[in-house]
Amino acid sequence: MRKLLASLFLGLAACSLGGATALQQGAGSQWTSPGGDAGKTHHSRLTAINADNVGRLGLAWAVDLATTRGQEATPVVIDGVLYTSGTAGRAYAFDAATGKELWRFEPDVDMQVNRTVCCDMVNRGVAVAHGKVFVAALDGWMYALDARTGTVVWKSDFIEDRRKGDNSTGAPEVAGDVVVIGMGGAEYDVRGYVTALDLETGKLRWRWHVIPHDPKLGPQETPELEAALKTWDPNSRWDIGGGGSPWDAINYDPETGLVLVGTGNGGPYATSKRSPSGGDNLYLASLVALDPKTGRMKWHYQETPGDNWDFTAVQPMILTHMAIDGEDRPVILHAPKNGYLYILDRRDGKLLRANPIVRVNWAKGIDPGTGRPILDPEVADYTTGPKIIFPGTPGARNWHPASYDPATGLYIGAVLDMGNLMFMSPGQKPARARALNNDAVLIFTPDVEAALPTLPPEVGDAVRKLPAFAEAKRNPATTQIRALDPLTGKTVWAVDTAGWQDRAGVLTTASGLTIHGSVTGKLFVRETKTGKLLKEIDTGTPIMAAPMTYTVRGVQYVAVMAGWGGGGYPFVPRYSAAYTRGNMNRLLVFKLGGGAVTVPDLLPPLEVAPEAPAQAPGVTAATIARGQGLFFGNCAICHANQPRSITPDLRRMQPATHEAFNQIVLEGLLTPNGMPRWDDILSGEDADAIHAYLIDLQGKTRADEQDKRKAGKPLDGPSLTILSNY
């Protein structure tokens, strides 16, 4: 009966939307977009792999992707060919049944863009249409590749101003005769936008800006930006750009004919510094609906007005139908960073439901009449002093795709219940081109207590008095795969993951299976109704991306991209397979009756850090302290200085690296390896100070590790950490 009603609802919805084709509930034998179907439900109608036989699931084929950076894409399968993307916008095509490589493409990326990539050289997928594979490279070039050969049909530069910190990590979206792509860089100096390129030629068709430009420069590009300008201080930090970059969620809705876009956070983070007189700062942290023919906005809904907390709204959207208040509605299911799960009507953006799914203290709730959050500035305004905010900047949800199973009505995805301490440094800072401009200190709640002794005394004293401090000590973080009732936000079932950095995408199937990975290197198959574990496969490679499934000649396969990376990528958690076995990125494909997965060997034991060279003449404690500040203002986002990081541990530099230090930092000696040059921001004196700090740190690390070796303690036990540098 429930399935019959659902079918009737879909038919009625198609009529109510002007005869448009109703969304298919889940993918079939093909997986035509990274989300599987047009609604990006990450749900499959396939049933050949089920609870009765999943114990026989094994490896069908695998591909070594020859990189150690993050893998976040979900593959696409059309007509027996598997297409996927990887590091920096590489693209691949394989025979989906055998794994035979048909072609691979590597864009010529300007690695100087790494200066503005906060969260790794990742890519979240390709679009396939009209015989072409569309992939966006990290440095903001869109490539249209011949789907049969991988040769370039056209390429187009979609970056508006290359003097800024723009970059690209998202998947393109085909909407009629255009391909739409967003961009990233809100923490740097960008003004966010989405771009539509002609599908056949790559020519610019339209560009929609998220936020206004400086009104002193003349009229805004669109009427909606003129309206948005009223929500900004005329003396806003236009020199920094404002942020808002839509770096992920873009959906084309074939029922309404609208392009739906999630926008990013403000920059710098605090509204009081970005827009001193306040305001909602449209269209930050919003969902917007655009006309794919013209780029004009049809509706908007702002999830976090006046964003203060890096609460992006770019997290994946799911388009489906639900019976709400006695009426079938075409809806968006959306769980952004800010801790709420929203249901909006896709036709007009009307809020239908908004419920918290984690601890939330920045707002007391969402007003159902206005759709606005009920702010709690006493708790959440960190511009007046340090505050512990729930949820934290990593977000209650992030880019890891969730799945919607129409049979059970469950929304299943990775959920992080964690906060962070935030506080500001005084005064306005000058804009820094292609450099971090967020101007806020962030410490995640699992680290707050340990960090207190390293903070300025007045900050530490204020933190201890916060009501949220006790809550942060009681439960610093909980990370789970959760099955949620989207109408209420209530958890139906949940399973804990290995730690707060252990989040992964989800696949559900009509046979009642939920499949997801873990950064521990495991692939899990669960019963959708209960979360009961049915099958576990150890791959030895971290899995963050969402699995997908397809059939070729009647055989069902499950595929997943594997490799640690993304936000916080240098800080490899100890429970990650990347920490113990390295980060050999792979594409793994499974089928019933498949074989065992080859698990990478354990990494060799750590060696004591090399002896540091002598400090240069004239280096003082003040020099080292200055270098420390410069390091954490420019370098620490990529260099974790931990022994198993996937970027170099600078406490273990060899003599040749020390000798070439200024050439690397200022002259771009290692730019081909992804290390950009910094001579436009850092002087020779700055580089010398950073080097002095790292020499000092290397000497301390060596002494610490020698003591551990003598005591028989592991070298990677508790040691000098980033906390000592706040």
Catalytic residue (choose from 253, 310, 447, 502): 310
User: Rounded CA gap, 109 and 297, in Å?
Assistant: 32
CA dist list (Å): 482 to 40, 93, 398, 415: 18, 33, 14, 7
Angle, CA 341 vertex, CA 340 and CA 345 arms, to 5°: 125
- Cα(562)–Cα(480) distance, rounded to whole angstroms? 19
The CB density around residue 16, as the number of other CB atoms within 10 Å, is 15
Neighbours of 480 (CB within 10 A): 20
Shortest CA distance to 436 belongs to which of 156, 118, 691, 148? 118
**Distance, CA of 218 to CA of 196 (rounded, Å):** 24
Contact between 27 and 36 under an 8 Å Cβ cutoff? The reply is yes
Q: How far apart are CA 601 and CA 579, in angstroms?
A: 12
User: From the centroid of its chain, how far is CA 137?
Assistant: 16
Tokens of 134: 């569309």
* Strand, helix or coil for residue 523: strand
Given a contact cutoff of 8 angstroms between Cβ atoms, the answer to whether 688 and 626 are in contact is no
Please report the sign of the dihedral spanned by the C-alpha atoms of residue 417, residue 418, residue 423, residue 424.
Answer: negative
What is the number of residues in the chain?
726
Q: What is the spatial distance between Cα 434 and Cα 726, in angstroms, rounded to a whole number? A: 23
Q: Which residues contact 44 (CB under 8 A, 6 or more apart)?
A: 26, 27, 28, 31, 36, 507, 508, 509, 510, 548, 549
Distance of alpha carbon 694 from alpha carbon 80, whole angstroms:
52
Q: Is the Cβ–Cβ distance between 140 and 167 less than 8 Å?
A: yes
**Residue 194: enclosing H or E segment and its boundaries?**
strand 193-198
Three-state DSSP class for residue 129 = strand
Gap between the terminal Cα atoms of the chain = 59
Q: Could you write out the DSSP letters of every residue in 685-716?
A: HHHHHHHHHHHHHHHHHHHHHHHHHHHT--TT
Active site includes 110? no
Of 80, 55, 159, the closest CA to residue 116 belongs to 159
The candidate with the shortest Cα–Cα distance to 639, out of 652, 650, 625, 628, is 650
C-alpha dihedral sign at 586, 151, 121, 694 = positive
Please tell me what DSSP assigns to residue 191. Answer: B
Nearest to 9 by CA among 253, 327, 331: 327
Cα separation, 111 vs 91, in Å, equals: 17
What would the DSSP string read from start to end of 534-566?
A: EEEEE-SS---SPPEEEEETTEEEEEEEE---S
Q: Which two tokens stand for residue 349?
A: 């953006």
Cis bond before residue 188 (omega within 30° of 0): no
d(CA 311, CA 284): 9
Residues annotated as catalytic are: 310
